[in-house]
Structure 1
Amino acid sequence: MTRIRPIATISFVILALGLAWLVALPLWMDGGLASPLFGVLVPLMMFTPTIAVVIVMLVLRPVPAGERLRFLGMWPLRPAKRVVWMIVLGLFAPLVLVVASVAVAALFGWVQLDLVHFSGYADVLAEVAPAGAPVPPAGLAILSQLVLIPIAATTVNAVVAFGEELGWRGFLVPALRPLGTWPSLLLSGAIWGVWHAPIILLGYNFARFDLTGVLFMTAGCIAWGILLGWLRLRSASVWPAVFAHGMMNASAALITLLYASGTTFDMAVAGPLGVAGWIVCAIAAVVLAVTGQFRRQPELAGAPGRLLSAPRS
């Protein structure tokens, strides 16, 4: 396994965080989340980890040119059977986890659901419908949303998720892996969470405008980062994590389709990146750990397909 010099890893982190703030700066100067530039700058911000990787690779050259694609998990995709099955798992498991987080939130009373009339979403449809225009049935509108989730996850969401994943799971996880499996997963997840600070402090995700929002996001990214990192380590490929991230983003708002009219909920508690999501991700991580899945990892930059025990944390 290629070992990355600490200066390269530190440089990547500083660049990724600094570029994120640079891209988000216009939002802070004018309009915040209401800025007309929001829809352009946030997707652009998602590519700052990839830009940071490219700069580090070209300037510091921590990996020989001929080994870069393999180190980043982009190529070759072999053994193909394992990579394909891990991509399938990465694509559908996050949807299951998001649904489970909604169930956990309902179980603990953090959200009140209406799975018959979908009254909360019906209210939203009535509010956004043009004056005099017919309002579609909430159930039909939700069905169309559910059909679009896998399409969005494998197209637009996967493209922008790649912008993040090439940095976080493609570069950072294997760069930190000599520290041990768990330190690499926890630390990379924490950095991923802090990277969101420029927009979280504007109220994105949790409608919190102080450090608590960043702390909730960091905890959520650690929880999900363990699972995305496991996909990366178990497959020796970045692509399962890319599609998993795409599906996570595409399905994250599921709870907003199912809540009851006249009730409210806090995404920091009931959402997939909130406490409910932490619980579900923790259960999934425990199952993987108990079944030994964290200890079976192919070499990230060596003979592909050969499984070995992970270094002890």
Structure 2
Amino acid sequence: MSDAQADPTVMTSPDPEAPAVPLQAPRVPWAAVAVFAIVSCGLAWLVASPLWVRGLGMTDPLLPVIAAAMMLTPAIATIAALLVERRRRGRRGARGILHDLGMWPLRPVGRTLGMSAAAIVVLPLLIAAGLLVVGLLGLARFDLVGFSGFAAQLDAVLPQGTPAPPIVLLVAMQLVMIPVGAVVNAPFAFGEEIGWRGWLLPALRPLGVWPALLVSGAFWGFWHSPLILLGYNFGLTDITGVLLMILACMVLGVLLGWTRLRTGSVWPAVFGHGAFNAAAGLGALVVAADSSVPPAWLAGPAGLITCAVMAAVVAVLVAAGQFRRDRLDARLG
């Protein structure tokens, strides 16, 4: 069955060469959005509940495992939303669903692969740019020769008397591993991105480009609440941390969402998200051992300074016309 036959809002023309004529403007599937919101947040709290029950907070050894498992909950919520949409839109088939979620086909291949590669490089550079601003503002002092802060961390964890490889070599290996980490993180980043940029962003697209980008990003930030309220990312355990995460995810969500709208594919956002997570520890490599450490809410990878850097990049993209409707909508068709 063709897309036009499956979608009751589209009328085909007697001329097979003529474009389909929409009978009515597309609308936000609010019932499916509500199911997505409830399932994703509900599962996030359910998965994170052992951290709250055990009461160990950020020192809980289960934290990495639970945080990774939580990243898969938007994918489950997407399945629930698709089941709700199925009643409204009818059967789409596997190919139609993969297309709607931006998973397949990879057309145009060059743009999709190029944007994915660019995301792997650019997202860590934004964190590095944030660190540069931190240094220029005098909030921290960096050691880019001896990497004394990183060396001190290694001394603290290695058994006494254990020889360590040259610190410069270790730092170089850490930097080289960032793009590798982007690929390794991809399955977990996919668990999130298939929800935020794969399904939710296009579902909200009838609201307009900017409302869809900002609302989907805000919800992405709010979804992190079970971990943020334990002190994750910012070391804050109140609503302030949640609001900071919402802000960070709105700004980063605009960049990741732009790759989705620009290419029609979810994969650049997947690899960009994975690269951003892989580069989150850059500051620990370069801060000097005797330097003051600014608070994470200000200078961390999701802090206000990095948010300002990302907002500046968004402004450049806007000025370059990259958010014009004619450059975005065609890719979701």
The alignment's TM-score, normalised by the length of structure 1, stands at 0.92
Distance 1:233 1:167 in 2: 15
Shift of 1:4: 4.1
Distance 1:104 1:71 in 2: 39
Distance 1:25 1:65 in 2: 36
Match in the other structure for 1:133: 162
Distance 1:44 1:299 in 2: 34
DSSP-derived class of the 1:146 partner? helix
Partners of 1:193 and 1:217 within 8 A in 2: yes
Task: Write the letter of the residue equivalent to 2:92.
Answer: A
**More deviation in 137-146 or 241-250?**
137-146
Shift of 1:178: 0.9
Q: Are 1:17 and 2:46 counterparts?
A: no
Instruction: Report matched runs for 1:71-220 at 5 Å.
Output: 71-155=100-184, 157-220=185-248
Structure (1 or 2) with the larger CA radius of gyration: 2
Shift of 1:2: 6.2
Task: Write the letter of the residue equivalent to 1:213.
Answer: G
Q: Are 1:243 and 2:271 counterparts?
A: yes
DSSP-derived class of the 1:231 partner? helix
Distance 2:255 2:58 in 1: 29
Residues 196 and 3 (structure 1), Cα distance of their counterparts in 2 relative to 1, 3 Å cut:
same
Residues 110 and 216 (structure 1), Cα distance of their counterparts in 2 relative to 1, 3 Å cut:
farther
Match in the other structure for 1:46: 71
Task: Write the letter of the residue equivalent to 1:33.
Answer: M
Match in the other structure for 2:10: none
Shift of 1:209: 1.3
Q: Are 1:269 and 2:294 counterparts?
A: no
Q: Are 1:297 and 2:325 counterparts?
A: no
The alignment's TM-score, normalised by the length of structure 2, stands at 0.86
Q: Which one has more relative contact order, counting CA pairs under 8 Å at least 6 apart?
A: 1
Match in the other structure for 1:308: none
Distance 1:260 1:172 in 2: 42
Distance 1:301 1:218 in 2: 26
Shift of 1:34: 2.6
Match in the other structure for 2:92: 65
Match in the other structure for 1:231: 259
Instruction: Report matched runs for 1:273-284 at 5 Å.
Output: 273-284=302-313
RMSD: 1.6
Q: Once the two structures are superposed, what CA deviation does each residue of 1:124-171 show, in whole Å capped at 9, x if it has no partner?
A: 11101112211333222211111111111112x111100000000001
Shift of 1:20: 0.4
Gaps of 5+ in 1: 303-313
Shift of 1:298: 4.3
